[in-house]
Amino acid sequence: MKVVTGVVGNDIHVVANRLIDLALRARGYEVFNLGVNTHLQEFFDAVVETGAQVLMISSLNGEAEGWGREVRLLRSQYTNLDDLIMMIGGNLVVGSGNGEDIAARYRNYGFDIACHQVDLNTGLDMLAALLRERGIQ
């Protein structure tokens, strides 16, 4: 299973990105890591180029709220992304907020899974559960 990952926007927090890369590989995924400072369009381009089934985005400085709103529109400009699973995690807002409300907002933006300040392994378990639910793995 191929996964494209990276940190969205002008965000240089790299530690979680390295951990995500290692944790995904340890779970048997094939990882295409775009690293920090990645713009939304670059993520979709990489998904198309690699044929990835999962797009896993991090935002640590909270600016994803700005990018998140553009996700549906941008995704609709690509063909063949109907089955792509989109996941986002990290600090999904600037400041604090209710995790459930924030996750619901990101699901509205088009993400299948949104993890605000949820630890990585819990998030990866959520992905595995969704893949099982969809009969993919």
- Kindly indicate which of the ranges 66-74, 101-109, 112-120, 128-136 contains the residues binding ligand B12, using the contact rule CB under 6 A: 112-120
- Kindly indicate which of the ranges 26-34, 44-52, 87-95, 98-106 contains the residues binding ligand B12, using the contact rule CB under 6 A: 87-95
Whole-angstrom distance, CA of residue 62 vs CA of residue 46: 23
Strand partners, 118: none
Residue with smaller CB distance to ligand B12, 8 or 75 = 8
By the rule CB under 6 A, 97 interacts with ligand B12 = no
| CA neighbor of 72 nearest in space, from 112, 124, 127 | 112
Smallest separation (angstroms) from ligand B12 to the CB of 86: 10
By the rule CB under 6 A, 90 interacts with ligand B12 = yes
Whole-angstrom distance, CA of residue 124 vs CA of residue 128: 6
By the rule CB under 6 A, 55 interacts with ligand B12 = no
Strands 113-116 and 54-59: unpaired
Residue at token pair 């995500």:
20
Sites of contact with ligand B12 (CB under 6 A): 10-16, 19, 56, 58, 60-62, 87-91, 94-95, 115, 117-120, 123
